[in-house]
Structure formats: structure tokens, C-alpha cells
Chain A
Amino acid sequence: MTLLSVKDLRTHFFTDAGVVKAVDGVDFALERGDTLGLVGESGCGKSMMSLSLMRLVPDPPGRIVSGSVMFQLTQTGGPVDLLKLSEKQMRGVRGKRLAMVFQEPMTSLNPVYTIGDQIAEAVALHDGGSRASVRRRVIEMLSLVGIPTPERRMKDYPHQLSGGMRQRAMVAMALSCRPDVLIADEPTTALDVTIQAQILDLIKRLQHELGMALILVTHDLGVVAETAGRVIVMYAGRFVEEGSVEQIFKEPMHPYTQGLLKAIPPLARKLAAERFFTIPGSVPNLARLPAGCAFADRCPKVQARCRQEEVPADPCKVGRLVRCFYSGS
């Protein structure tokens, strides 16, 4: 049963410098238990995409201008468009059905409350219960995420924990109400490499244990390769390619994806012999997107048509979507 179905989501920012189209037409579907990797470089709109799903886009100056986010809110009823819910109803969804883990655990946790209090706040809000039962749940969550001696640790303040611990606490807080979907926005970017692996393992393990769907937003292709089942590649606010992990990595079809994969420094070959590959040019100004394909200026396969026409999403194979006229290996 499709848990989450996003169609043509557009989030624009209305600034004095022009309209910044942070998210400009993204579609995807998520089943229960899926792991979706959302990949793209900084500024491509992937974080804004995840915020849009939660309707946490800062309202001046940003706004979700069109699209729908159909979510299976109840067991029996049909899917509901999250974008059409009232704010009060949406608050019931946030934290309870859709949860989010952010990139910087140090700044994402309130420095003046203990982590126990912050987790308890979420539990008390959505599931209620006596202070004892809330406290029990907090301890349960903390040990679930692998924090030792949770009864003591829950009285710690965020600055007293290490980076990895903090992120675990964030995960505990996000999962405390057993959401259906966890959105992890660059959860490991701010952490050391060894801790990264731990946190990713943790998230994957919990996903299986709790039967959640996971949307993993990252710029790190390595993380995607390890964790995701399906992958969406984003560029300049639009998605450019979608497929399973194997398909994307073995047979990238969009020139941008191909460029990204080529840019991963090779270890097998002698490093001294070759220069690192980089995609020439830089991301276009999201306030002044060119007509046609946004990648045109940097694409090795560009033709005149690319700059003139809007490129539609092309389901070239089963389970694949590419936004390119000239896709192919």
C-alpha cells in the first residue's frame, strides 16, 4: 500500500532578488518499509523538499505553491493530502506519523533542556500517559538507539554528550512516537566517519525493527549506496533521475548522474596518473533558472533542443524515470 505519494511538489521562495524555485516539480512514491535516497549537491533543493513534506518551510519568504502529498493517514480511509490539512491537523501528523532527524545535532537540540525532557515532550504531546509511563518510554528509546545507562543519560544536557550520542538522541526523539516515515536530512554529515557508519547502521536497524519508511537525504553517494533501495537524483530543484540503487549506480542514464559517479575518486586505478573529474560549471542561480533543462550549460551531451523545451520525465524502463532527451549510457 502506498504510504506516501508526492506529485509535482513546488516550493518557491519570494525574495527581493526574485523568486527562488527551491523545489520545482518533484514526484515520487513511498511504500511502507521503503528506503528512498534523495541525492544531490548542496543547494539542489533536497533539504527544502524534506521540509516541504513536513510543511516546515519558513513562511515568509517560502511557500509551497502547488502539488500534493498524499499520505495514508488512517488504516482504513483513503490517502489524505497533507498540504490541505489545517495547521492543527498537521501538528498531529508531525512527530507522530512523519518524523525528521536533522543534520546538526548540537544546534538542533535545545541547549537548556535535558535530552530526557526533550524526548518526553514529544511522547507526552502525542501519546500522553502518566509521567512514569512517559519516563519509561524515554528510557526505552534511549536504549533502543544504543545509549548506555539511559536512566542517567536522560538527565544530561545536549552539550554534555558527544556528537554521535547527540545524533542518537535526536533519532530517539524522532522515533519516540513510532512514526510511519522517518526523514533523515543529512544525518551523518556533521559526524566523524566512524560514527557515521554507526548512525547509519542504527537508522537502518530501527527502520527494519519498527517497519518504517525512510527518506534519506544526502549528498554523499557512498551513504546512498549502502542504505537506499531506490534513489532520486535532484538538480536545481527538479529531479533528474529515479531508479533502484543498482540501476542508478550500474547504469546511470542522466548526464548529471553519470558525472556524479565519474567524480567519485577512483581507488583502484593509480591516482597519480589521472586528475579528478569534475563537472564543469556550477549550479545555476535558482532565482534565474534558464528555460529548458537546468543542466544544459554543464552537460556534455547538450543540444539546442535542451535549452528550448521543458524536459519531461521519461519512464524509459520499468521503475526508471529520466528527465533528459538524450539519456543513455
Chain B
Amino acid sequence: MLKYIVKRLLLMIPTLLGIMIITFAVVHLAPGDPASLKAQTATDMLASEGMTREIVESTRALYGLDKPVHVQFLLWAKRVVTLDFGASYRDHRLVIAKIGEALPITLTLNILTILVIYLISIPIGAYSALRPRGLLDKASAIFFMALYSLPSFWVAMMLIVLVASGDYLNIFPITGIVSPGAGALPWYGWVANVGWHLVLPVICLTYGGFAFMSRFTRASMLEVIRQDYIRTARAKGLPEWKVAVNHALRNALIPLLTLMGTLLPALLGGSVIVEQIFSIPGMGRLGFESVLARDYPVIMAIATISAFLTLVSIFLSDMMYAIVDPRITFGKR
């Protein structure tokens, strides 16, 4: 077991390296080096001559732009490891501080999304496998497929028009994650307020995942039901529900856990649009605004951190797989 963990960790290192190289390369392939671009922005802001030169030079020194590329990379890598991503071009705040504010929000959103997707898809998928081609199977397949094909921004717009604006119902807020003044509420009131704000964004993020997850569960379950040990379980006289849950589902869920790791990057991407529409101050919106403003330090930081988090979650889900599947935990004697 320990061997397995160590092996996985070692394999992560080249990937991590690759991530950092690519992030570095993408930004530095951009036309114009960060220093002159920064000077450009400064000039646009009508700074004085002397200040422009100062900015250029300090940026140059900061990023070591006068040194050869690989040295630049190593310098940058060293700073990344200490979580020093520099300061944002837009408001000069520390990048790490801005990310520190945005990340928990996006993480909360994504964790909620994953939970909802799993909670709804797994029972439906499992039941569909037990009654293949039955009513639930066919109906859910078509319904989820239709949901999956709905563009998230369109759904967001429709939701806003229908339930969050003045015309029809107006039961959900459309901006932010918390109402102003919510700080005055007791903690459970605050939680409820946040929850109320998150309903629409979470809906937009989850509905697309049902199709994939339920089909995957169904396929995994179908595969498991054909196995001999299910027949053995029945031969013991176990009631059908116990066979389905304790024996079939328990085995069918194993590959599902590994999916969790790969769901995360998809969610991080999807939340850009949703966060933008609902004005949620998460990583997605931060990233989008940074791209618009060519705020390189933030862009690089977001890319690196997101990639790193995804890597970690892939690793975690592999670990979970090892825990639930005794064939990996306990090797052959």
C-alpha cells in the first residue's frame, strides 16, 4: 500500500513540472514581455516618464527578464513553491491574497456540485441497471441527455428571467453569494443566506453532470450484475435489495470514485461562465477578469494553482480507489 502511494507521488512530480513549464511558456510566448506591457498600462494611465522607466526596470528585475529563459523559469519556480505569485497588475494586491479569497468560494461551489450530482445520479443509474430498458431507464436517459445539451449560460439566463427577476417569480438572488448585511445574522442565518444565493449557480453547474454520471453508474452496475458472485449471493438466499446494494453497488461504486478526480477540472472550467453571470467572486470570475485585463501574475497563478489542485484531486481519488478496493490495498500473500 505504501509502495503504491509512493509510486503515485513520484509520478506526480514530472506532471507538476510539466504544468509549471507550460504555464510559464504560455505567458512568456505572449507578444510583448510583461515589463513593457506593464509600462504600456502605466503610460496609458498617464504616468510620468521617470515612473515608467522605474516600472519597467523593477518589473524586469522582479521577473528576471534580463536573464536567460531557463533561469527565469527557475526563479519563477522557486517563487511559486513559496506561494509568491507577485502582485496583481490591476490593483497591486498580492495575488495570493486575491486567490485566497476566491478559492474557498469556488471550492465550496464545486464540492456542492459534485455532491448533488452523485446523490442524484447514482440511485437513478443503479436502478436503471436493475431494470434496464424500463421506464425509469429510458425516461432518465432522454431527460438527462436533454439537460446535458443545454448550454449553461442559456439556462442561467432563463433561470434569471423566470425565477430571479421581477417578471415572474422572484425568489432567488442573482448576484453574489451573500446579501449585504448578512454579517449581522447568526451563523445559521448566514449559512442559510449563502445557501439561498448558491441555489441557482449550483443548479447551473450540476444539471449537465447527471447524464454522464448516471450512465456511468448504470454501465458499471450492469457490468457488476453479470458477475458470478452476484449469483452466489442469490444462491445464499439473500433478498434482492441486499444483493443489489451490498454486493452489486458496492463493487459498481469503485470506478465511480476515481471519476471524482477528473470531475474537478471540468467544474473549474464550467464555473467561469456561471460565476460571471451570477457575479460570484470565485476563481472563475477572477480568472476571466484577469484575462480581460491581461493581469499576468494572476493568470499564471490561477493556471498553476488550478492545475495543481486538479492533480491533487486525481491523486486523492486514486487513493480512495485503493482504499475501497481491497485487491489493491492487500496484495497477494
Which A residues lie at the B interface, using CB under 8 A? 54, 56, 91-96, 99-100, 102, 104, 107-112, 121-122, 125-126, 156-157, 159-160, 170, 173-174
Q: Which of B229, B239, B327 contacts A91 (CB 8 A)?
A: B239
Would you call B251 and A173 a contact (CB within 8 A)? no
Shortest CB-to-CB span from B253 to chain A, Å, is 10
Report the nearest A residue to B327, measured CB to CB.
A159
Would you call B235 and A54 a contact (CB within 8 A)? yes
Question: What A residues does B327 contact at CB under 8 A?
Answer: 111, 157, 159
B234 within 8 A of A: yes
Would you call B238 and A157 a contact (CB within 8 A)? no
Assembly CA distance A94 to B236 (angstroms): 6
Would you call B326 and A112 a contact (CB within 8 A)? yes
Shortest CB-to-CB span from B232 to chain A, Å, is 5
Report the nearest B residue to A95, measured CB to CB.
B237
Report the nearest B residue to A106, measured CB to CB.
B228
CB-contacts of B204-246 with A (<8 A)? 227-229, 231-239
The number of residues on chain B lying at the interface, defined by a beta carbon within 8 Å of a beta carbon of chain A, is: 23
Known interface pairs A94-B235, A104-B228, A173-B236; A110-B251 also in contact (CB < 8 Å): yes
Would you call B332 and A160 a contact (CB within 8 A)? yes
Interface bits B117-134 vs A (CB < 8 Å: 1, else 0) = 000000000000000000
Nearest 8 A/B pairs, CB to CB: A95-B237, A94-B237, A95-B236, A107-B228, A110-B229, A108-B228, A122-B236, A91-B237
Q: Which of B231, B237, B325, B333 contacts A122 (CB 8 A)?
A: B237
Known interface pairs A111-B326, A112-B251, A112-B325; A92-B237 also in contact (CB < 8 Å): yes
Would you call B227 and A96 a contact (CB within 8 A)? no
Report the nearest B residue to A93, measured CB to CB.
B237
Q: A111-B229, A159-B327 given. 20 additional CB < 8 A pairs?
A: A56-B234, A93-B237, A95-B235, A95-B238, A102-B231, A102-B235, A107-B227, A107-B228, A108-B228, A110-B250, A110-B251, A111-B251, A111-B325, A112-B250, A112-B251, A157-B330, A159-B330, A160-B330, A160-B333, A173-B232
Known interface pairs A111-B326, A111-B327, A157-B327; A91-B251 also in contact (CB < 8 Å): no
B324 within 8 A of A: yes
Question: What B residues does A170 contact at CB under 8 A?
Answer: 232
B98 within 8 A of A: no
Would you call A157 and B228 a contact (CB within 8 A)? no
